[in-house]
Chains A and B, each alone.
Chain A
């Protein structure tokens, strides 16, 4: 089953002044349980593609379906609701809420979903244990290392039981050990729980672990390779 399906996605910035074509027609399908890296040089359009897949931006042209739902025509507010229920985000700079503890950060999205307290508590503990932070649930982000913060971010992304996880350069700020640790956790979640991951990355360590690598160049997909690792 396709989790993400796009047809001829185009995105032009500044259409009225100096038009910049970031995407020139991208056709892409990602299936449930894939572990996919989107790579490419700066300016190739990978961030734009990720934003569109993640419902943070709209394409200028083309069709996009996430979890069998056409999201290209949704309003801002509908997109917010859609993201809350369907997409888990992991950002390069972790972007945790600094005034909340690890547990509260993970719980936060479930609160927005109006989940019951029992469910929130159980899932938060389960997720933090799954990313190896069972003993840090009451720590604030400032008390955690970069790698630990990014693991909290992964737990937070998983909390709402999204259709897939979108990770934008998740390892860019991490050292080798933290990167390896994070990738191990994501690979395990992917394998054991069949969770779909889509990364944008420059990091060869991430590319090496991905099972599918899509390369973007000048706004179009130049290669789409399945890897066996």
Chain B
């Protein structure tokens, strides 16, 4: 067996150019699969993280009817009690509450429809990253009357800046149209264009005061006075470990069976779709690579066999059995794989590690990428299992690719092979 390895090893280096070409193909292919997959993974993570940190959070809780028609009267009753209870649920990192309504936002230069997110700003900072996305002016504080945060996009479209005055017009709980003036406290840029174009942020206490001066919730007894402080449409929370998100959602649902509890995958089903489709694309890329590699290997090894017909004939003439000849061709092919794959894996690992830390700046494509909901800095990442999968994949491909040339080699008749030119 040692001799077979020795001959196979020396045969590998017999035609150096050919060996380097196929090694180059293996190395480049392995590297490319790693890099493309890590980019895709980075994109998925960036997309999901952005969505979770800015907008969706890990779990959202609503009145079940609110999700159907987003009417302001579908508030979660007893919001403070619910909040305290969620806060004390095991695995919950932070929770915040919001009042949501649709409104018309006007400046002296124009108007547009927006969704108003009225937040508990101290809690919000612990759940979303919106406070860190303020690029001009400041985030909310206790003092001041009717501050509003708008995005850079809306500010540009309505031609306003920090401290400009704006008017929000919306329907209150009694069904009356009401308007209030706000002053721009800060301008944010989340990097997620759809979010930035649709949302403005104000303090929950300000909106609640405007929405429910005298109103009564439809699910409350007519004689019960509405509690302004308690008006809340949405709870959003982060968990400590995303793997446990379903379990924690189940716990909360158990505590509040009358509320609708949804994980981020249910709130934004496109996250899962995106995750799946990127995974599928990765599989397709890997399959194409393996197919290309298998044909590359067949081609190379077939050349290696065909140019050695005479020699193979001689080996069989002097008594090398077919099993050994077959093994020799397979071993030669495996050697190519065993040299190329670790180099490709190592280069791939270095690339992923480097860009995983340094990031890839995609700001020159910023518009399109932000429009899609990803940040412009991409951090490729890859699970270790893919390196192992890839190594096994190339190993199997090399064996498969060697079978035909090896079969061709043992089909040679020594008497004809020796005399061939």
Residues on A lying within 8 angstroms of B by beta carbon are: 51, 54, 56-57, 76-77, 80-81, 83-85, 89, 91, 93, 95, 97-100, 104, 108-109, 111-113, 156, 160
Cross-chain contact of A95 among B14, B314, B319, B320 (Cβ < 8 A): B314
Residue in A57, A76, A98, A112 whose beta carbon sits within 8 Å of that of B319 in the complex: A112
Q: Name A108's contact: one of B3, B316, B321, B418 (CB within 8 Å).
A: B3
A112 contacts B320, C-beta separation under 8 Å: yes
Measured CB to CB, the nearest residue on chain A to B310 is A95
From residue B417, how far is it (CB to closest CB) to chain A in Å?
Answer: 10
Q: In whole angstroms, what is the CA distance A56 to B414 when docked?
A: 7
Interface residue B115 (Cβ < 8 Å from any Cβ of A): no
Instruction: Kindly list chain B residues whose C-beta atoms are within 8 Å of the C-beta of A84.
Output: 318-320
Contacts of A113 in B (CB 8 A): 319
Among residues 1 to 46 in chain B, which have CB atoms less than 8 Å away from a CB atom of chain A?
3, 6-7, 10-11, 14
Q: Which A-B residue pairs are the 9 nearest by beta carbons? A: A84-B319, A99-B10, A95-B314, A56-B415, A111-B3, A51-B415, A80-B321, A83-B319, A57-B415
Contact B10 A100 (CB under 8 A): yes
- Compute how far the CA of A57 lies from the CA of B3 in the bound complex, rounded to whole angstroms: 27
* Shortest Cβ gap from A167 to chain B (Å): 13
Whether A83 lies near B310 (C-beta < 8 A) is no
- Distance, CA A84 to CA B310, complexed state (A): 18
Which B residues are closer than 8 A to A by beta carbons? Answer: 3, 6-7, 10-11, 14, 310-311, 313-322, 324, 414-415, 418
Residue numbers in B under 8 Å from A85 (CB-CB): 319
Asked, given contacts A51-B415, A100-B10, whether A81 binds B321 with beta carbons under 8 Å apart, the answer is yes
Q: CB distance A97 to B7 under 8 Å? A: yes
Residues of B within 8 A of A89 (CB): 314, 317-318
Cα separation A213 to B83 with both chains bound (whole Å):
111
Residues A83 and B317 in contact, CB atoms below 8 Å apart:
yes
For A98, list chain B residues within 8 Å (CB). Answer: 14, 311
Q: Known: A81-B321, A100-B7. Is A95-B418 also a contact (CB below 8 A)?
A: yes
Alpha-carbon distance A85/B316, docked complex (angstroms): 13
Complex Cα distance, B3 from A93, in Å, reads 23
Tell me whether A81 and B319 are in contact (CB under 8 A): yes
Which residues of chain A are within 8 angstroms of B7 by Cβ–Cβ distance? 97, 99-100
- 6 interchain pairs (CB within 8 A)? A56-B317, A89-B318, A97-B315, A99-B10, A99-B14, A104-B6
A118 to chain B, nearest CB (A): 16
Q: Which residue of chain A is the closest to B410 with respect to CB atoms?
A: A76
Residues of B close to A80: CB separation below 8 A: 316, 319-322
Indicate if the CB atoms of B414 and A109 lie closer than 8 Å.
no
Closest residue to B3 on the A side, CB-wise? A111
The CA of A108 and the CA of B318, in the complex, are separated in Å by 9
State how many angstroms separate the Cβ of A106 from the closest Cβ of chain B: 11
Residues of chain B with a CB closer than 8 A to A156's CB? 318
Q: Which residue of A lies closest to B10 (CB)?
A: A99
Identify the closest chain A residue to B320 (Cβ).
A112
CB–CB B318/A109 < 8 A: yes
Question: With A and B bound together, what is the CA distance between A58 and B119 in angstroms?
Answer: 94
Chain B residue nearest to A56 (CB atoms) is B415
